[in-house]
Amino acid sequence: MIKRVLSFCTVVFGVLSLTFLLIHLVPGDPVEVMLGESASLADRDVLRAELGLNQSVANQFALYLSRLAHADFGVSIHSKTPIIELIKTRYPATLKLALVALLIGVGVGVPLGVFAALKAGHWQDLVVTIVSVRLSAMPAFWLGPMLMLIFAVWLGCLPVSGMDSPSSIILPALTLGFGLSAILTRMTRTSLLEVLNEDFIRTARAKGLTERQVILRHALRAALLPIITIVGLQMGSLLAGTVITETIFSWDGIGRLLVESIEKRDYPVTQACVLLVALSYVVVNALTDLLYRLADPRIRLGH
């Protein structure tokens, strides 16, 4: 456990360092890139001092860490607002989108996986498996436009983009949740098929339980552990997937903020967004690991 905490801390420190170093990768003078060549010398010096770029790299890193410790992400160069304010308005939108996507992923993936497992070897199983394997390879920037084309343009039943009506969330959430549901379908199928061969399932059947009870109360419960892990691990990729999905559907979340900040060369905002998404991913992974340990006594006790 101590080892886990230590490695968690190393990774967090590494993520912080790498994100910090990002701005030093800008070719030439980052201040000039951000403000444009026409900016006056005074303006440049002000920004340079504000970003701490006139100090030594070690000092800059210390300053960066101490600011972060006070939840100070700096100030946006473009809008002059503190970045923390931008994050406060954008992050909830991303979380909402990710959660709905998660619900879709679980709500579609798990039942479909159970269905495939129960029909194992039949054509239904084959169809579900092939479709989930092959379509999960398709990237969000393909799926999003295709869904948009079908549901918003041809059928006209859902909004094309934006976040004006409650139904606006459906298409981006589908785009985002689709990959998860495909992975969950496969996981659930494999996991359930394994469990169905166990002795306790035979016992349950021998007791005279209905097939429904055997599946829902006994088999699925035992098959749930790997499913939980996958959900946890995928939650992070969901957060990353929001960058593309939010851009396609003009969803005002952290991912779109990232892309906008890149277009405007607003590096402090870029830095903050990358850091935030990466840290969310690291934290979700650590929590999944913890949950997994708590849920399975075999792992908790170190067998």
Interacting residue ranges for another protein, rule: CB under 8 A:
7, 10-11, 14-15, 17-19, 22-23, 25-27, 33, 134, 137-142, 144-146, 148-149, 153-154, 160, 236-237, 239-241, 243-244, 247-248, 258-259, 262-263, 267, 270, 274, 277-278, 281-282
CB of 6 to another protein, least distance (A): 11
Closest CA to 108 of 185, 162, 175: 185
CB of 168 to another protein, least distance (A): 16
Rounded to whole angstroms, the Cα distance separating 255 from 148 reads 19
Which amino acid, residue 222? A
Closest CB to another protein among 13 and 200?
Answer: 13
- Is residue 245 within 8 Å of residue 175, measured between CB atoms? yes
Closest CA to 228 of 183, 281, 292: 292
For CA atoms 232, 233, 237, 239, the dihedral sign is positive
CB of 102 to another protein, least distance (A): 14
Closest CB to another protein among 75 and 266?
Answer: 266
Closest CB to another protein among 16 and 201?
Answer: 16
Closest CA to 163 of 96, 106, 108, 107: 96
Closest CB to another protein among 105 and 114?
Answer: 105
Return all residues near 218 (Cβ < 8 A) that are at least 6 apart: 200, 201, 204, 209
CB of 32 to another protein, least distance (A): 12
CB of 276 to another protein, least distance (A): 10
